[in-house]
Amino acid sequence: MKTHKLPVNLTDEQIEDFGRELDAIRDEILDSRGERDRAYILKVIKTQRSMALGARVLIYASLFFLPAWGHALAVWPVMLTLLGLGTFMLGIAKILENMEIAHNVLHAQWDWMKDPEIQSNIWEWDTMSPSDRWMHSHNVVHHTWTNVLEKDLDVGYGIMRVTPMQRWKPAYLLQPVYFILLMLLFEEGVAFHEQAIDDHIKGKNKFADFKPLLKRIGYKIWRQVAKDYIAWPLAAALVAIPISFFVDFSPLAVFGIVAGANAIANVIRNIWAFMIIFCGHFPAGVHNFTLEQVEGETRARWYLRQLLGSCNIEGGKLFHVLSGNLSHQIEHHLFPDMCSNRYKEASPRVRALADRYGLPYNSASLFRQFGTTWLKNIRLAFPGGGEPYQRNPSQATSS
């Protein structure tokens, strides 16, 4: 018998069977967690912190190769090479911290270890969004209501039309611009990605209703700005002050060079995080859902919605680590509290299960997933593109 409103040719009983088989995969992998998983996350954390320190050292070291020093190697090519290498390393370190470490720690993937330093309730990550606020908007809201219109704020991030089910309005004409700006300023965008702020923009609440929230976000933003654009550059400038009496360069220029390197590293992280995250839910073939479709949703139907609303990105081992294993977005949405290094183990089993039940498993290269995401962004900036949301209980689109 079929009473559900999901866009699949399965009976209610078959969906429940599908859910039980996914439960079995989850339970088997969670029950096998142990020392190799502990060793993995500790190694990643050590690698990230060593890389971040090495990057800072390279950025500072490059300053001793400014032409003003006058020695044989004090030339712009050498200085810029060291500075560029340090900046790139810092960007990669920030990617590792945000994607493979913090994102997954905040999902409580490593709470089972009982390590007092690696717990979801105490970890504060290297980005402008406060951890506790992100855990609410992401873990609670997004993962519960994945791709459900009027519930999941990640559907277009409040500024873009990512499915024809969203009614078109003239403001969407600028969404190709929003797309690029959000990519470059993704850290800032995520910090302000809050339902209360979205409600205020739509006139649903008063400023006083979310003023404490803004203070909380503002404090975290200030901490990040102070660290990347004041403390680290100032440390270099203070060292440069006495040296400037003997070598002809400005401490202010030193401050600007270090601050600029930090800014570029943050942009590197922003672009990468944006690409990986947008490839998880917006490429061609992904489904969106209505409130009517998820009414009375069982765990098995929730599993099915996660499968239909998520996409994987294919790549090698390093790619998966740098993506925070969100390249296995389907498995992450099915099992958000599973250790990220185990998604590669779950992935072929989930895919085989989907094939057996005749369900789509959206997995492709980064080029395909990001390319179709970008093309959809451009197409949906204009009217049309599919059937708009008419509160039709059976409506769900694959776009």
Q: Is 383 helix (H, G, I), strand (E, B) or coil?
A: coil
Q: Please report the pLDDT score of residue 395 as a whole number.
A: 47
112-131: per-residue pLDDT in tens? Answer: 999 999 999 999 999 999 99
Dig out the tokens for 301 from the structure.
Answer: 């139907």
In this predicted structure, the answer to whether residue 394 has a pLDDT above a threshold of 50 is no
Band of the pLDDT at 210, cuts 50, 70, 90?
Answer: confident
Exposed/middle/buried for 191, CB within 10 Å: 0-12, 13-18, 19+? buried
Q: What value does the mean pLDDT take over residues 3-16?
A: 93
CB 187 within 8 A of CB 229: no
pTM (predicted TM-score): 0.94
Structure confidence at residue 392 (pLDDT): 47
Burial class (CB in 10 A: 0-12, 13-18, 19+), 147: buried
Predicted pLDDT of residue 288: 95
**Strands annotated E in the chain:** 287-288, 312-314, 363-365, 397-398
Angle separating helix axes 251-281 and 35-62, nearest 10 degrees: 140
Distance CA 143, CA 149 (A): 13
Please, which pLDDT band fits residue 194 given cuts at 50, 70 and 90? Answer: confident
Q: Mean pLDDT for the chain?
A: 93
Neighbouring C-alpha atoms within 13 Å toward the C-beta of 235:
11
What is the band of 201 on the pLDDT scale with cuts at 50, 70, 90?
confident
**What confidence category does residue 249 fall into, taking pLDDT thresholds of 50, 70 and 90?**
confident
State mean pLDDT over 256-281: 97
What gap in Å lies between CA 303 and CA 332, rounded to an integer?
11
The mean per-residue pLDDT over the stretch 143-150 comes to 95
Give CA 87 to chain center in angstroms: 21
